Amino acid sequence: MNRLVAIIAAHLIMLLSVACGGQAEPADPPVAIATTTATAPADTPEMAQLKAEVVAHYAELVYAGYQDSYDAAVVLRAALDAFVAAPDEATHQAAKAAWLAAREPYGQTEAFRFYGGPIDDADGPEGLINAWPLDEAYVDYVEGAPEAGIINNTTDYPAITPDLLQSLNQSGSEENVSLGYHAIEFLLWGQDLSADGRGNRSFTDYTTAPNAGRRGQYLLAAGELLVNHLGQMVAEWAPGGDNYRAAFLAQEPDVALQQILTGVGVLSKSELAGERMFVAYDNQDQEDEHSCFSDNTHRDIIANAQGISNVLSGQYARPDGTVLSGPGLLSLLAARDAELAAQVGALADTALAAVGQIHVPFDRAIVEAAHRPAVLAAVNALQDQGDALAQAAAALGLPINTALPE
């Protein structure tokens, strides 16, 4: 129980929010989970060179991850276009498959967040891409409210356009999510009203249902915006430009490394283990899972954990089967403390294996006694990994905080 108490204490900011609709209580300020300070030995020329190489290769990983996410979103947009142009069972299923495929590279890019980079700085589009929880009634009809949502509000929103959807995103409430992956997910799958299956929206919502045409317009606008916003990330990390990548590489390597370590540390210990997993485990409520409409939460979790592993190893397996390889954080740590590097690597392997053992679907894993231990084991492994990353930062003389940023 000690670990559970520690997790709960570390996540006082996480009050009951409804991941697939509903109201959320105001959150307290984030609680600091782990901060490390240390003084490392002065760098040798070889160590200084390795630091620069790790930072440069990280920028390559980020660029590749966003490029793959963008490319997958382009394929998704084409599938949405085909579905709206000729809605039937086949085009509907193809659009769903494209959405699931698009989530794979993007989920791994979550390791590039949480340090004020272009994805989630003050002007970043993260909230336009992957915001959740989503109140379904803000977008479309829900059980018991057949006229709910932007789609059915023809008086206030006579024309559904990308500009309109962007202006309405999280207007008045964080749960008022009007676009991004999860708005598209809801429009394809519909509400998840069963603990034993995904949402069951019919393609006829786009043919004979009330406001079918507007629903199609909404889906196309959301798809266009997703492509545009991911394109912004590609541009910010593209080589050779006057962009964030150039500024990132112009920093002292230690500053960049501190950012890199913060990103993976926060994701491992706070965001993934806490917000995305332990809250749902503790509440035993399917409404708290990330991709609730499609029941794809297990893949979200695995992709997030894989993203951390990518940054540690310096390797990223791209959707086309090629592998981008170079020096990662473990290479750098090994040059400073080989034993600690081996421990961190082993914990990363353990965490990745643990998330792969979670029962599918996740909404059953969090409520059924036979499957709950595997969820908690994965939470613990991710937290252990976060602690190890803080130790790695200390060994490198780089203080990090693995709490979620305010």
Residue 228 to residue 70: CA distance in whole angstroms:
9
The model's pLDDT over 70-126, given as tens digits with 9 standing for 90+, comes to: 999 999 999 999 999 999 999 999 999 999 999 999 999 999 999 999 999 999 999
- pLDDT for residue 148 is more than 60: yes
Residue 14 has a pLDDT of 35
Residue 406 has a pLDDT of 65
* 224 alpha-carbon distance from chain centroid: 20
Select from 358, 363, 299, 259 the least CA-distant residue to 107.
Answer: 299
Average pLDDT over residues 324-329: 98
Residue 289 has a pLDDT of 83
- pLDDT for residue 190 is more than 70: yes
Cα-based distances in Å from 270 to 7, 13, 100, 156, 406:
9, 11, 25, 39, 12
Q: Cβ neighbours of residue 159 under 8 Å, at least 6 residues apart? A: none
- pLDDT for residue 161 is more than 60: yes
Select from 130, 174, 132, 176 the least CA-distant residue to 153.
Answer: 176
Instruction: Give residue 27's pLDDT band: very low, low, confident or very high (50, 70, 90).
Output: very low
Instruction: Give residue 380's pLDDT band: very low, low, confident or very high (50, 70, 90).
Output: very high
Residue 145 has a pLDDT of 98
Neighbours of 78 (CB within 10 A): 15
Angle at the Cα of 138 from the Cα atoms of 132 and 139, rounded to 5 degrees: 90
Residue 40 has a pLDDT of 67
The structural domains of the chain, ordered by start, are 2-395 (1.20.1420.20)
Residue 133 to residue 152: CA distance in whole angstroms:
21
Residue 391 to residue 197: CA distance in whole angstroms:
41
DSSP calls for 210-256: TTHHHHHHHHHHHHHHHHHHHHHHHHHH-TTSSSHHHHHHHS-HHHH
Residue 39 has a pLDDT of 60
The model's pLDDT over 41-83, given as tens digits with 9 standing for 90+, comes to: 788 999 999 999 999 999 999 999 999 999 999 999 999 999 9
Comparing 11-15, 197-201, 225-229, which segment has the lowest mean pLDDT? 11-15
Residue percentage of the chain with pLDDT more than 70: 90
Average pLDDT, rounded, for the chain = 90
CB 404 within 8 Å of CB 266 = yes
* 26 alpha-carbon distance from chain centroid: 22
- pLDDT for residue 3 is more than 60: no
Residue 197 has a pLDDT of 81
Residue percentage of the chain with pLDDT more than 90: 84
Average pLDDT over residues 168-173: 96
Instruction: Give residue 16's pLDDT band: very low, low, confident or very high (50, 70, 90).
Output: very low
Select from 290, 286, 296, 318 the least CA-distant residue to 100.
Answer: 296
- pLDDT for residue 288 is more than 70: yes
H-assigned helices in 29-141: 45-85, 89-108, 126-129
Cα-based distances in Å from 375 to 118, 359, 362, 378:
32, 8, 9, 5
Instruction: Give residue 30's pLDDT band: very low, low, confident or very high (50, 70, 90).
Output: very low
